[in-house]
Amino acid sequence: MLQWIKDRWHDFTRAFTGWMGVTLAALIGIILGVGIFTMYYAGFTSYFGNDPATCNQCHAMNEQYNAWQKGSHADVAGCNDCHAPHDNLVLKYANKAENGFMHSLKFTLQNYPENIQIREHNRRVTEAACVYCHGNFVDQIKNDSNHRGETLSCIRCHDGVGHMR
C-alpha cells in the first residue's frame, strides 16, 4: 500500500517538467506550502545564489558536491555554471525556482531514487553549458549534428566531468 502511494506520488511529480511544470509546481506549492518551508529552511535566498555550498545544504547533494570538489571543474565552474541557463535571466530564475521547488518537495517527502537522475530539460541546460565554455574548441566536431538540427551530446562521452560518480 505504501509502495502504491509512493508510486502514484511519483507519477504525479513526474508531471512537473518543462514550463507546464513550473506553473503547476508554483500553484500547488503555494497551496501545500511544504516545499516552500523546506526551501526556506535550506536557505531559500541562497538557493538563488551561486555558491555550491548552497546546493550542499541538502545531504541529497552530498555525493555530487564531494565529487565536484575532487573533479576537474571545481576551480572553473560551480553548480550553477553547469545547471542554470546562461542565456537569459528570466529563464535562469524560472529554472531555479522550478528546480528548487521540486527538490525541496521531494527531499521533504524522501521521494527520490537512490541514484538521482538528471531530468531531460536539465540535461539540455547542462549540455548547453558545456558548449558555452568550450564552444570554439568543439566547433568542428559539432558540424554534422548542426547540419542535422541536432545538439551534439557531450556527456555521452564526458559523463564524469562535473562530478565523477
Question: What's the rounded Cα separation, in Å, for the pair 154 and 127?
Answer: 6
Cα–Cα dist 52/68, whole Å:
9
Of 22, 29, 61, 85, the residue at the interface with ligand HEC (CB under 6 A) is: 61
152 binds ligand HEC (CB under 6 A): yes
Interface with other proteins includes 146 (CB under 8 A)? yes
- Under the binding rule (CB under 6 A), the answer on residue 141 touching ligand HEC is yes
Asked if 118 interacts with ligand HEC (CB under 6 A), we say yes
Under rule CB under 8 A, residue 42 binds other proteins:
yes
Measuring CA to CA, how many Å separate 86 from each of 12, 36, 96, 156? 29, 25, 12, 21
Binding map of ligand HEC across residues 9-48, x = CB under 6 A, - = no contact: -----------------------------x---x----x-
Q: Is residue 130 near ligand HEC by the rule CB under 6 A?
A: yes
CA dist., res. 155 & res. 141, Å (int): 14
State the cell numbers at 90.
Answer: 528570466
In 15-147, where does DSSP find H-type helix? Answer: 18-32, 34-41, 44-47, 52-55, 62-70, 79-83, 89-109, 120-138, 143-147
| Residue 150: contacted member of other proteins, ligand HEC, none (CB under 5 to 8 Å, by partner type) | other proteins
Are the beta carbons of 121 and 18 closer than 8 angstroms? yes
List residues near ligand HEC by CB under 6 A. 38, 42, 47, 52, 54-55, 57-58, 60-61, 64-65, 68, 72-73, 76-77, 79-83, 99, 102-104, 106-107, 112-113, 116-119, 122, 126, 129-134, 137-138, 140-144, 152, 154-159, 161-163
